[in-house]
Amino acid sequence: MDLAHHDLETKAGFAPDNPLQDAHVTHAELMRTFDAFKAANDERIASIERRSADVLHDDKVARIDAALDSQTRRLDELTLKSARPHLGLETGMRSASAREHKAAFEAYVRSGESAGLRALEVKAMSVGTPADGGYLVPDEVEREIGKRLAVISPIRSIAAVREISGNVYKKPFMTTGPATGWVAETASRPTTNSPVLDELSFPAAELYAMPAATPVLLEDSAVNIDEWIASEVEQVFAVQEGAAFVNGDGTNKPKGFLQYDKIAEASWAWTKLGFIETGLDAGFPEAGPADPLIDLVYALKAGYRQNAHFVMNRKTQSAIRKLKDADDNYLWQPPAQVGGRAGLLTFPVVEAEEMPDIAADSYSIAFGDFNRGYLVVDRQGVRVLRDPYSAKPYVLFYTTKRVGGGVQDFDAIKLLKFSGA
């Protein structure tokens, strides 16, 4: 892909000619490459079994594996482009207040004229304006930023998302449920214990981006300002979110699921994530390499498995791509269709580059129903502060949103630990 050309298209608010058609072509190439990968890997395995391992076989498999990664990335990009909505095209469907907000926001972004936005916020009796100022983007832009993040932010795409108006979302849960039991129709009913309640807190922390624009771009009436703002911040927000939802320490950012206490599945307790061990440091066992993955799947209760996903990074996928089950079938499968996900043991695979590489004692694979297990909280309102002074001749746009996150059901996510028994 011509990255420079891509950036120009993005900044100007234009889409590529036919990304969906390109995605179908890339998907067909991916399927052919996977067939070639299987054939080359089968040759490699056969040479090892003959005790005549050939470095050329290893190199060939590595090259095709790299091609699979490249085509998968390309397919993801094209799928995202085809699914990305275009802002500012349905003006006839907006309310009068929405049109007024859009016009005032565009005037502020292009020229710095803020009187219209100030009047709108006074009219709406806006409260909670941050100390560093800024103005709310139109609702349409905020919604579309959220939709785009749901597509390109890997954990957000499978987690539960709740919008809040305050700074903290608190969710009660029962540490012990009420006592229950069976009793005869005329028998006395013993007194039952009351449930014990506790609560989980999910504070929203500030996430920011600072895209820059040239005066020429802002003066160009052909540039879709809504589209430009959304496209400039979506990738930055997605990268920061992706890292925090996996490894965030919970201080001024969401708490990532890998930062919670972990415990062997046999001793699982609430507030901890259970794990299964592979039985081998930094790898899968040679005899029955699929067994740890199968054990991981069945460590999750049946009610969670219906909507479960594997989560891992690209290097871990590459290692799993070479594995077979007892019937000589490959465990990993490419997406069955454009827009789909790769599969592992029939479950979809979500690629999160923030997951650790396979190493001794690493938790490199997660499996679970993240919609029930992990909660993302979005505080309402995306704000933009225009700064034409700090980086002349460029104009900076300090763009902020408040996001929180954490585990809400500790039984819904399981981890695979690469360690000996």
Q: Of residues 198 and 148, which shows the higher confidence score? A: 148
pLDDT, tens only, 233-262: 998 999 999 999 999 999 999 999 999 999
Q: Does residue 393 surpass a pLDDT of 90? A: yes
406 closest CA partner among 258, 296, 212: 258
Domain regions of the chain by residue span: 12-83, 136-178+195-313+352-421
Threshold 0.85, pTM exceeds: no
For residues 9-13, average pLDDT: 41
Q: Does residue 91 surpass a pLDDT of 60? A: no
pLDDT, tens only, 76-90: 777 666 655 555 544
Task: Say whether the peptide bond before residue 393 is cis (omega within 30 degrees of 0).
Answer: yes
Q: Does residue 402 surpass a pLDDT of 90? A: yes
240 closest CA partner among 228, 229, 252, 230: 252
145 closest CA partner among 52, 213, 59, 227: 227
Q: Categorize the per-residue pLDDT at 187 as very low, low, confident or very high, splitting at 50, 70 and 90.
A: confident
Mean of pLDDT over the chain: 85
Intra-chain end-to-end CA distance of the chain, in Å: 46
Q: Does residue 16 surpass a pLDDT of 60? A: no
104, 111, 118, 160 from 115: Cα distances, Å: 8, 11, 5, 38
The domain made up of 136-178+195-313+352-421 has a fold known as Major capsid protein gp5 fold (3.30.2400)
